[in-house]
Amino acid sequence: MEQKTLTEIQREVDAYISQFKEGYFSPLALLARLMEEAGELAREVNHLYGEKPKKPDEPENSIELELGDLLFILVCFANSLQIDLTEAHRKVMEKFNTRDSNRWTKINTEP
């Protein structure tokens, strides 16, 4: 299976969206889509791990596909605002590694 960087994913999504006259949705519409997809993910998680099993006539779906939908919309959101997700990730990890470096109990990796 081919591994892609965030930059490659952002370019692939941009190439896909760029073929349509409509282009990217507005930030507000993208946020609404992101929340809609998060709801669909929550529904799948609830069906698999919660107390609300699917009805027999409900279509099969998966957490993997719902996460993929979320990723696609998130990349669209970033692209529409010219945000480099690789750089955003770097900044977030720097924040976690400094601000939250002692927040949780670390696994002892020493023998």
Q: Give the Cβ contact number of residue 77 at 10 Å.
A: 19
Q: Is the pLDDT of residue 96 over 80?
A: yes
The answer to whether 66 touches 91, Cβ cutoff 8 Å, is no
The verdict on residue 106 lying in a domain is no
What digits encode the pLDDT tens for the residues 30-61?
Answer: 999 999 999 999 999 999 898 888 888 877 78
Query: How far is the C-alpha of 81 from the C-alpha of 74, rounded, in Å?
Result: 11
Token readout for 8 is 């490659």
Domain CATH code at residue 83 = 1.10.287.1080
The verdict on residue 108 lying in a domain is no
In percent, the amount of the chain with pLDDT more than 90 equals 70
In this prediction, residue 51 carries a pLDDT of: 87
Burial 54-68 (b: 16+ CB within 10 A, else e): eeeeeeeeeeeebee
Q: What is the pTM of this model?
A: 0.86
Query: How far is the C-alpha of 10 from the C-alpha of 56, rounded, in Å?
Result: 37
Domain of 31?
6-99
pLDDT confidence band for 109 (50 / 70 / 90) = low
Query: How far is the C-alpha of 41 from the C-alpha of 66, rounded, in Å?
Result: 5
